[in-house]
């Protein structure tokens, strides 16, 4: 289709390339919108190969891609390529080529990174991705850090909590403040982890906050009391790009755990202790989680 457009071959049978595409969609039994999507992702992959060839990274030509590299996966890659860090994105491409990741997994990663675009999800050859700078775009940078933390929580599994033996480990993310009749039903948390070691153990709710949300001038003991009252354990997460020093632990309540994210690895700097949980608030958080899952 790309060659038909570029060479003007469509002029032999149609008044425009759009008419040619519509006519052939009917002949092939496809929707016109489907062929447009295939054309867009095909061009995206072609441009991607040229881009990475400049830095000596080789990917197979479009027509030699294995069958598991579907147009849907390429379309999700094109979205993630606008926001994901280069090293993260390169590994993702290899995972797609090696069939080491499912379409649903890629979609989950896109959902995690999407807020970093702050609604600027339009893409194309003449649409540039937003600049990501801690100074110029602090909210975008924070959303990007949240996405990296969420993906690490999913990839690393439950080992950072206790060990790999468990019957439940689920990461829920982008959990925004919810109010019912003016009362706070649940606080804003970038992620909530549901963990249960065995049938004889209680379900644990681990709230994940971003260290970048706060600074040393904040009254952190006061700020963290509210989310802690909803959870069994509360953790502060930071990405390796954020400067970390051991004295940070002096600025946070002792019951709050601290984890540092490095790619798909998680290092526990300070273990979390059980929170002074408010049962009513804890129940409202679980209700909010159920409501989120049912939508």
pLDDT-derived band at 153, boundaries 50, 70, 90? very high
Would you list the DSSP string of 39-57? Answer: HHHHHHHHHHHHHHHTTT-
Identify the CA nearest to 142 among candidates 35, 246, 215. Answer: 215
The structure tokens listed for 223 are: 């700020």
Query: Picking from 36-40, 57-61, 289-293, which range would have the lowest pLDDT averaged per residue?
Result: 289-293
Cβ(150)–Cβ(190) below 8 Å: yes
Using the structure block, give the residue that is written with the tokens 């457009």: 5
Q: What is the mean pLDDT of residues 239-258?
A: 72
Q: Is the pLDDT of residue 134 over 90?
A: no
Q: What is the mean pLDDT of the chain?
A: 78
Average pLDDT over residues 239-267: 77
pTM of this prediction exceeds 0.75:
no
Segment 248-255 mean pLDDT: 73
Cβ–Cβ < 8 Å for 31, 58: no
pLDDT tens-digit readout, 20-50: 888 888 888 888 888 888 888 888 888 888 8
Tens-place pLDDT, residues 206-245: 999 887 666 555 556 667 777 788 788 999 888 876 655 6
pLDDT in tens, 91-100: 888 888 889 8
Helices (H), 54-119: 71-80, 86-97, 103-113
Q: Give the per-residue pLDDT at 266.
A: 93
Determine the Cα–Cα distance for residues 65 and 67; give it in Å rounded to an integer.
Answer: 6
Q: Which helix (H) or strand (E) holds 258?
A: strand 257-262
CB hemisphere CA count around 44 (13 angstroms): 21
Tens digits of per-residue pLDDT, 162-179?
776 889 999 988 765 554
What tokens appear for 179 in the block?
């109010």
**pLDDT recorded at residue 135:** 45
Scanning the structure block, which residue is given the tokens 């949980």?
277
Centre a 10 Å sphere on the Cβ of residue 279 and count the other Cβ atoms it contains: 8
Summarize the confidence of residues 244-273 as an average pLDDT.
81
């Amino acid at each position: 289709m790309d060659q038909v457009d570029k060479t003007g071959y469509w002029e032999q049978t149609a008044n425009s390339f759009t008419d040619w595409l519509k006519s052939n969609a009917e002949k092939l039994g496809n929707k016109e919108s489907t062929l447009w999507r295939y054309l867009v992702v095909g061009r995206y992959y072609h441009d991607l190969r040229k881009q990475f060839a400049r830095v000596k990274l080789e990917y197979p030509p479009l027509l030699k891609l294995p069958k598991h590299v579907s147009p849907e996966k390429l379309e999700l890659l094109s979205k993630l390529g606008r926001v994901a860090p280069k090293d993260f994105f390169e590994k993702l491409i290899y995972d797609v080529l090696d069939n080491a990741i499912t379409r649903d997994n890629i979609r989950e990663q896109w959902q995690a990174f999407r807020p970093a675009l702050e609604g600027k999800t339009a893409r194309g050859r003449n649409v540039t991705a937003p600049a990501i700078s801690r100074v110029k775009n602090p909210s975008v940078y924070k959303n990007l850090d949240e996405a990296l933390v969420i993906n690490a929580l999913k990839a690393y599994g439950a080992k950072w909590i206790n060990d790999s033996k468990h019957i439940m480990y689920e990461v829920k993310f982008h959990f925004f403040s919810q109010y019912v009749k003016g009362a706070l039903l649940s606080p804003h948390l970038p992620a909530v982890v549901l963990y249960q070691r065995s049938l004889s153990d209680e379900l644990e709710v681990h709230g994940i906050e971003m260290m970048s949300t706060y600074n040393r001038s904040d009254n952190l003991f006061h700020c963290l009391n509210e989310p802690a009252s909803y959870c069994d354990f509360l953790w502060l997460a930071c990405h390796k790009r954020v400067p970390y020093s051991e004295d940070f632990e002096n600025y946070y309540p002792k019951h709050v755990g601290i984890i540092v994210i490095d790619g798909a690895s998680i290092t526990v700097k300070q273990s979390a202790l059980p929170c002074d949980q408010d049962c009513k608030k804890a129940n409202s958080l679980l209700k909010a989680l159920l409501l989120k899952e049912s939508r």
